[in-house]
Amino acid sequence: MAIIKKGNALTTKFLQPGSTYETDGYGLLTAKGIYQLDQSVSGTAITGGQVHPQYSDLFVHKFTIVRRTLEVDEVAVDYVGINSSVGDTTRPNVTASHGLTSEHITTHPNFFGPATGFTTAIAGNGTTFTASTINPDYKVGGVFGAHFKGTVTNAGGFVGFLDSSTSDKQYYYGKNQYLAPTTSFSGCIYTTAVATVTNLRNAVGKTSTTNSFTGAKLLPDHLGTTWTATVKGSVRPTIMLSQVSFEDYCVQPSGTPKIFKVNYEIRFNREGYPAEVYSAV
């Protein structure tokens, strides 16, 4: 017996009940489109990067075909896009990690000082040293028994805390490490701009004095728009782009993606990054 077809031929896409639309608050749009299509067109009616039938900001990322009857397929399509109100790049979605790490005592900002926020330097001012009563070959800086191999005006190599004659000096005796705060930011943006992807790739290992790198905002304004520290009269950037990875979304038949997902990591250094060692964006 021949199949008798009535009604719509289902050769054109029409959104069906159950289709969804979602925004994440950062400018990323996602949608699920459900279509009932004739088997003869279900495999070709949807292509990667194709625009949503109702929302021009959304594009096909991937789709699934399910055979519902002998003649009709159900096509479930995942759309991804960027809200035009935020431009070509979403707002940064960032997670911060704060902790402590062990570092050598000579890297402490108050090792020679006193630094801002401290009243007494750990090892003196860095230019005035006295003879050691423990070893005549060494010099002493500060009031906690820090010994050096240098001269009366220059530290030379740090030997250690060798003096245990007072309770204050005993606290430092034999120690050479301290717990330093460490902060890193992990973030994600989506963009339609190829230049943003290329520029961020080239910015790895570089620093910034603002919450943007090469024009792309990677930290939200509420965390601060200026990222600098003044150390011994020198103004330094305090954030560095330490890692970047990319993922293509909504790839068109030509192989060109419509959208790029960018994951990144930023490292914060409270003392800043010296320009002689780390270049800026």
Helix (H) / strand (E) containing 245: strand 239-251
Q: Which residues contact 139 (CB under 8 A, 6 or more apart)?
A: 129, 130, 131, 132, 147, 148, 149, 150, 151, 152, 155, 156
Give residue-wise pLDDT tens across range 76-88.
999 999 999 999 9
Cα Rg of the chain (Å, integer):
31
**209 and 241 Cβ atoms separated by less than 8 Å:** no
**112 and 124 Cβ atoms separated by less than 8 Å:** yes
Find, among 258, 246, 250, 259, the residue nearest to 61 by Cα.
250
Q: What is the pTM of this model?
A: 0.87
Helix (H) / strand (E) containing 195: helix 194-202
Q: Which residues pair with 147 in a beta bridge?
A: 140, 160
Average pLDDT over residues 31-45: 91
Give residue-wise pLDDT tens across range 161-207.
999 999 999 999 999 999 999 999 999 999 999 999 999 999 999 99
Q: Which residues contact 46 (CB under 8 A, 6 or more apart)?
A: 13, 35, 60, 63, 75, 77
Give residue-wise pLDDT tens across range 204-224.
999 999 999 999 999 999 999
Q: What is the DSSP letter of 169?
A: H
Q: What is the model's pLDDT at position 170?
A: 97
